[in-house]
Amino acid sequence: AQSVTQPDIHITVSEGASLELRCNYSYGATPYLFWYVQSPGQGLQLLLKYFSGDTLVQGIKGFEAEFKRSQSSFNLRKPSVHWSDAAEYFCAVGPILTGGGNKLTFGTGTQLKVEL
């Protein structure tokens, strides 16, 4: 079965510093990979996705992620963090199921705190 691991439960960075959030997945084939962000009291907003092709994908709000098949990783990066980036970040894998269905399997999330 597919699984997603986000090893960092909490991360604190200073505003303006760079950020990398780690994500490792387990899946038998090439997965569809996603990063979502959840602000307090809000729903999940899609930051970026990887389906195929270029392994470096660009998303909204200045985020990017790199798919590394050899490491089964899909780490999220941002060169300069803003205070408004404080939120919880979820990595997800979405295989195509038999019968044409779909579901997302989420990691446990990384809570990002930004120090001013």
Partner 1 sequence: DSGVTQTPKHLITATGQRVTLRCSPRSGDLSVYWYQQSLDQGLQFLIQYYNGEERAKGNILERFSAQQFPDLHSELNLSSLELGDSALYFCASSPSAQETQYFGPGTRLLVL
Q: Select from 83, 96, 113, 115 the one that contacts partner 1 (CB under 8 A).
A: 96
DSSP 15: T
| Touching partner 1, residues 52-91 (CB under 8 A) | 90
Q: Which CB atom, from 17 or from 96, has the smaller least distance to partner 1? A: 96
Q: How many residues bind partner 1 (CB under 8 A)?
A: 23
Among 46, 56, 83, 115, binds partner 1 (CB under 8 A): 46
Contact between 24 and partner 1 per CB under 8 A: no
Measured CA to CA, the distance from residue 80 to residue 13 in angstroms comes to 10
Measure the CA–CA gap between 44 and 39, rounded to whole angstroms.
Answer: 8
d(CA 1, CA 95): 10
43 binds partner 1 (CB under 8 A): yes
CA distance 103 to 33: 12
